[in-house]
Amino acid sequence: MSNESSQQMVVREARLFADEVLRPRAGDFDREEFLPRDIIDELAKRKYLLASLPEADGGLGLDPVYYGFLTEEIGKACCSTRGLITVQSSLIGETLMRWGKKEQKAKWLLPLSNGEKIGAFALTEPGVGTDAKGVQTSYVKRGKEYVLNGTKKWTSFGELADFFIVIAACRTEITAFIVERDRSGITISHQKGLLANRASHLSEIEFQNVTIPEENIIGKPGSGFTFIASTALDHGRYSIAWAGVAIAQEALDSMAKYARERKAFGRKIGEFQLIQMMIGNAVTKTHAARALCIKVGEMRSRGDSNATIETTIAKYFTSQIACEVTTDAVQVHGGNGCSNNYPVERLFREAKVLEIIEGTSQIQQLIIAKYGLRKYGKSSHY
């Protein structure tokens, strides 16, 4: 979808869908810890599930900037619905497009697009999070088959998934496998009591002697981290960067609306300078976060070699901004900000998660610092 006006139309339609369908129900999804099938079907009908992929593969062919705008519109209304798009398009779809065999693409992409199949990316484990290279889920080769054992945790939409992309190790060799849900030896447990992402069907998945044919390997044996997981995480971080913008913007909208309506001491609270200070800061931070994401999207569109590190910078920055803006939004709402009758309570929780998923903020800082030490202070960098 190279026509810019067509992409703009997709974003406008997504905004209407978010306003009319998602936003009124997002609080219920959070409380019930469940994303209804009718929402998934509607996303599939609109081809949002693989929005960043070419139209021939069931997507919308959105370029990175407009995929970001779509992510923002959906994410403002419902973080869990945005999360489904992130998993299907950024983690699963982009990974299969880049590294999947022809047969794997033919088997999975169109079913993913039309919502017939749901995929999940199984990387994190009970004892392995940020140190993704240290996965303990293991495999051994037996003839032309592989036997998988181990446990994955915090797998978004694992409860709904028809298949998983599983990152596993054989000593120092790390490989990515497509593992169908219905294979013998798989146990899936829903994770409850979560701070946020409550309607993302997060699951713990146990693999006990699960047999996988060699044609289910993505890429080549041993390429599971360096190529497969790294590709998925890069695309995932770009989507999460826009998720930070979405949460910040929704919180800003909520606090501005509340400040115009709420009265204290006989005046609208928006007339008080300290409230104006928080709103002014929120406007500036949100605009800066969006501008950074647009810049990164443009870099990704033209294949700029610095796009990956700039994506990391954007993910780190917007996650931080989302936390800061939602904190002020709760403060502006006062006691009401602590009630789930107001969306800022949910946004506050959702924002914190962004500093953890797709690499913690501390890991992003280390990556960015190493980049800064290499690049700056030697000569002109302009």
Enzyme catalytic residues: 358
Give every CB contact of residue 241 below 8 A, 6+ residues apart in sequence: 68, 292, 293, 296, 311, 314, 315, 317, 318, 319
Spatial distance between the Cα atoms of 96 and 219, rounded to a whole number of angstroms? 9
Give every CB contact of residue 27 below 8 A, 6+ residues apart in sequence: 340, 343, 346
Distance (Å) of CA 141 to CA 105, 180, 212: 24, 18, 9
Q: How far is CA 121 from the centre of its chain?
A: 11
Give yes or no for a contact between 274 and 267, defined as CB atoms under 8 angstroms apart: no
Which SS3 state, helix, strand or coil, does residue 156 take? coil
When computed from its CA atoms, the radius of gyration of the chain, rounded to whole angstroms, is 21
| DSSP letter assigned to residue 116 | S
Q: Return contacts of 259-264, CB within 8 angstroms, 24+ apart.
A: 259/332
Which SS3 state, helix, strand or coil, does residue 250 take? helix
Give yes or no for a contact between 205 and 183, defined as CB atoms under 8 angstroms apart: no
Count other C-beta atoms under 10 Å from residue 265's C-beta. 7
Please give the structure tokens belonging to residue 277.
């200070």
Please give the structure tokens belonging to residue 231.
């590709």
